[in-house]
Amino acid sequence: MDNPFFVSTDQSRLDLPMIHEYLSKRSYWAKDRTMDAVKQSIAHSLCFGVYAGSGKQVGFARVITDYTIFGWLMDVFITETHRGHGLGKMLLSSIMSHPELQTLKRWGLVTKDAHSLYEKAGFVVVENPERMMEKLS
């Protein structure tokens, strides 16, 4: 049987209210993010939606990138009712194999609880965290 789910980078398919609701209410990393912030972040990112065969969106991720050297993976989620069916792996595989991202030399991301998913795609914990810096506003 064919997989009834698919991944698309077509931004016109994105369910903005669903993405906003998930990020601002159910994620640990984007609590209270405004709809305007969600819209702006999507407009300036390469976005990936996961969809059921019916077209209903059940997952999302975005990559901030220069399309040449670096990409930062953000806002990755599969809705709770669709977890445990390999959709996260399918989403990550689609991202890592996207034709426009094949020249990237470095990827970055931050996760609290999905290390095993990302390790399967070749991500490793930062070897020299003392080199990493950030500025929070």
- The answer to whether 90 touches 76, Cβ cutoff 8 Å, is no
Q: What is the mean pLDDT of the chain?
A: 94
Q: What is the pLDDT of residue 1?
A: 46
- Percentage of residues of the chain with pLDDT beyond 70: 99
In the chain, the amino acid numbered 47 is C
CA-nearest of 10, 93, 97 to 48 is 10
Q: What is the pLDDT of residue 2?
A: 63
Q: What is the pLDDT of residue 78?
A: 97
Q: What is the pLDDT of residue 92?
A: 97
**End-to-end alpha-carbon separation of the chain, Å?**
48
Give every residue of the chain whose pLDDT is below 50, as ranges.
Answer: 1
Q: Which domains, ranges and CATH numbers included, belong to the chain?
A: 5-131 (3.40.630.30)
> pTM to 2 decimals?
0.93
The pLDDT tens digits for 5-31 are 999 999 999 999 999 999 999 999 999
